[in-house]
Amino acid sequence: MLDLTRGQFVKHVIMHPFEGFEDLRWKKAGSMRIAIVVVCLLFIQQIAYERLYGFQYYSDYDKMFNIVPYIFKSFILFGTWVVANWAMCTLFDGEGSMKNIFINSAYALIPYVAAYLIGTVMSHFLIKDEYVFIQAVEIIGLCWTFVLLISGIKAVHQFSLGKTLALMLLTLVAMIAMLFLLVLLLTLFQQVLIFIFSIYTELSYRIRV
C-alpha cells in the first residue's frame, strides 16, 4: 500500500486532507527539500500578487519597490509560525519535531500558493466585472490550505481536533510575542550601533585636533 515516491506523496497529501498527513507521518515520506521549495514559491507568489497582477486590478503606489515586506510576509512569518508552533507543542505534549512541523506546514501551504498564482495569471485575461472568478479560485485555495493546516498540525502532534485548534491559537499569540521581541531586539541593536558610531566619531575628532 501507498508505495509512492516523495514527490507523489505531495499530491497524495493535498488530495486527501484527512488521512494524507497520517500516511505521510507513517511512511516518513516528508521531504525537507520540497518544503523549502514551497516556502520559496510562497515568497515569489507574494511578489507576483502585488507586482505582476493584471494592470486593471491593483491600485498600489508602485513607484518604489521594497523587498523587505515580501521577505517578512513569506520567510519570516513562516519561520516564526514553525518555531512558535514547536515551542507551544512542548507545553501540550505534542510529538512533532521542528522539521516535521516545517514540512507539514509547507505542504499545507501549496493550495494557497497555487491558487493565488493561478489568480495572478487569470487577472491578465479577465476584466474587472469578472473578478468574481479570480476571487472564487483564491478563496477555495485559502480554505483548502486552512483545512490542510489543521489536519497537518493534528497529524504531526497526534492531537484531537479541539486541542489542535487551541494550539494554533496559542501559536498565533506566541508569534506576536516573538515578533515583538524581534523588533525590540533590532531597535536595541540599532541603539548600540549608534552609540558605538558616536564614540568613533568623537574619538576621530579628538585625534584630528
Partner 1 sequence: MSGLKKLLSLVSAAAITVSAFAVNVSALETYDPYSYDRWGDAVASQAGYTAEKYIDGEMIGCGNFYEPADLFISHDNLMYIADRGNNRIVITDLDFNFIKEMTEFRYNGETLTLKGPTGVYVDQYTGNIYICDTDNDRVLKCDTEGNVDRMFTKPENELYDQSLTYKPSKVLVDKAGNVYIVVKSVNKGAVMFNSEGEFLGFYGANRVEQTAEVLANAFWNLISTEEQRSRSAKQTPIGFTNFDIDDDGFIFTVTDSQEVNTDLVKKLNPRGDNILDSLGAADMQFGDNPPAYYSIYSKNSSLTDIDLGPNGELNILDFEHGRIFQYDKECWLLFIMGGKGYQLGLFQSAAAIESHDNHIYVLDSRKNNITIFTRTVFGEIVTEAANLYNDGLYEESLEPWQNVLKYDGNYRRAYIGIGNALYNKYQYKDAMKYFKISISRDRYNRAFEGYRDEWLKENYMKCIVVIVILVVLIIVYKQLRKRRKIVYPWEKNRKAGV
Separation between Cα atoms, residue 33 and residue 91, nearest integer Å: 29
SS3 17: coil
Calpha distance 61→67 (Å, rounded): 14
Residue 195 in the binding site for partner 1 (CB under 8 A):
no
Q: Which one of residues 15, 28, 33, 59 is an interface residue with partner 1 (CB under 8 A)?
A: 59
Interacting residues with partner 1 between 38 and 57 (CB under 8 A): 55-57
Q: Does 75 bind partner 1 (CB under 8 A)?
A: no
3-state class (DSSP) for residue 56:
coil
Site for partner 1 in 110-139 (CB under 8 A): 125, 127-128
Decide: is 63 part of the binding site for partner 1 (CB under 8 A): yes
Find the helix packing angle between 77-89 and 161-208, rounded to 10°: 120
Report the alpha-carbon distance of residue 117 to residue 204 in Å, rounded: 54
Binding of residue 61 to partner 1 (CB under 8 A): yes
Q: Which set of grid coordinates corresponds to residue 157? A: 502532534
Stretch that binds partner 1, among 44-52, 58-66, 157-165, 190-198 (CB under 8 A): 58-66
With CB under 8 A, what is the number of residues at the site for partner 1?
A: 11
Binding site for partner 1 (CB under 8 A): 3, 5, 55-57, 59, 61, 63, 125, 127-128
